[in-house]
Chains A and B, each alone.
Chain A
Amino acid sequence: GDSVTQMEGPVTLSEEAFLTINCTYTATGYPSLFWYVQYPGEGLQLLLKATKADDKGSNKGFEATYRKETTSFHLEKGSVQVSDSAVYFCALSDQSNTGKLIFGQGTTLQVKP
């Protein structure tokens, strides 16, 4: 079945460092891909998404490109801030858009001043 694999955390970086969180997926068809972020004590919120191959999603300085050839959707940010400390989830959905997202296990990011 469909699955999502994220790099294990926690990831600890200094402020202004470059961030990469790896995400690869296995799916039939052409899923949409998402990154969700969960700040401490809160629910998840959408960070960015891409719906077809070679699309680049971006938001708040974060970017991820839908790479069909490598089945990847890696999250990047050029300069992280302390406020970016959170848990990041990669997810995929099929084209039915019925709320059936498949999530990776989450990667905790801690940014130190």
Chain B
Amino acid sequence: NAGVTQTPKFQVLKTGQSMTLQCAQDMNHEYMSWYRQDPGMGLRLIHYSVGAGITDQGEVPNGYNVSRSTTEDFPLRLLSAAPSQTSVYFCASIQGNTGELFFGEGSRLTVL
């Protein structure tokens, strides 16, 4: 039962570097989303997707890009990392008929 798989679990970047956080789900869920978790601020929605080929912005999209070429995969790209993007990132897929989110284990990113 893989569920939602995120890689890498840990990453350290220098300011200005780019990287992609990978997310894959094997539950055939149409809806997927990316959140960031910061101390005292809960989880904030970065981008979401309601199906392959369809993405939209969440609450804090600046500095991030996403694409959804398949139902299974929903990568998050940081084009030019900034220290303000130091955070823990969670990918989630959602079971459409219940509204329940299934989260990956998280990716801890540090930008120096």
Chain A contacts to B: CB under 8 angstroms:
4, 32, 34, 36, 41-46, 49, 51, 89, 93, 97-106
Question: Cβ of B42: which chain A residues have Cβ within 8 Å of it?
Answer: 4, 89, 103-106
Contact with A along B1-43 (1 / 0, CB 8 A): 0001000000000000000000000000001110100001111
Q: Which of A41, A43, A51, A98 touches B31 (beta carbons < 8 Å)? A: A98
A99 to B50, CA, bound (A): 8
Question: Cβ of B101: which chain A residues have Cβ within 8 Å of it?
Answer: 36, 44, 46, 99, 101
A51 to B33, CA, bound (A): 21
Question: Cβ of A99: which chain B residues have Cβ within 8 Å of it?
Answer: 31-33, 45, 48, 50, 92-94, 101
A103 to B48, CA, bound (A): 15
Beyond known contacts A32-B99, A97-B98, A98-B50: 8 more, CB 8 A cutoff:
A41-B105, A44-B90, A49-B99, A89-B42, A99-B31, A99-B101, A101-B43, A102-B45
| Shortest CB distance B30–A (Å) | 9
B92:A45 contact, CB within 8 angstroms? no
A98 to B101, CA, bound (A): 10
Q: Which of B35, B100, B106 touches A46 (beta carbons < 8 Å)? A: B100
Question: Cβ of B83: which chain A residues have Cβ within 8 Å of it?
Answer: none
Given contacts A43-B106, A46-B100, contact A105 B90 (CB under 8 A): no
Question: Cβ of B44: which chain A residues have Cβ within 8 Å of it?
Answer: 103
Given contacts A49-B99, A100-B33, contact A43 B105 (CB under 8 A): yes
Question: Which partner residue on chain B sits nearest A6 by CB separation?
Answer: B42
Sample of 30 A–B contacts (CB below 8 Å) = A34-B99, A43-B4, A43-B90, A43-B103, A43-B104, A43-B106, A44-B90, A44-B101, A45-B103, A46-B101, A49-B98, A49-B99, A49-B100, A89-B43, A97-B31, A97-B96, A97-B98, A99-B31, A99-B45, A99-B48, A99-B92, A99-B93, A100-B48, A101-B43, A101-B45, A101-B101, A102-B45, A103-B35, A104-B42, A105-B42
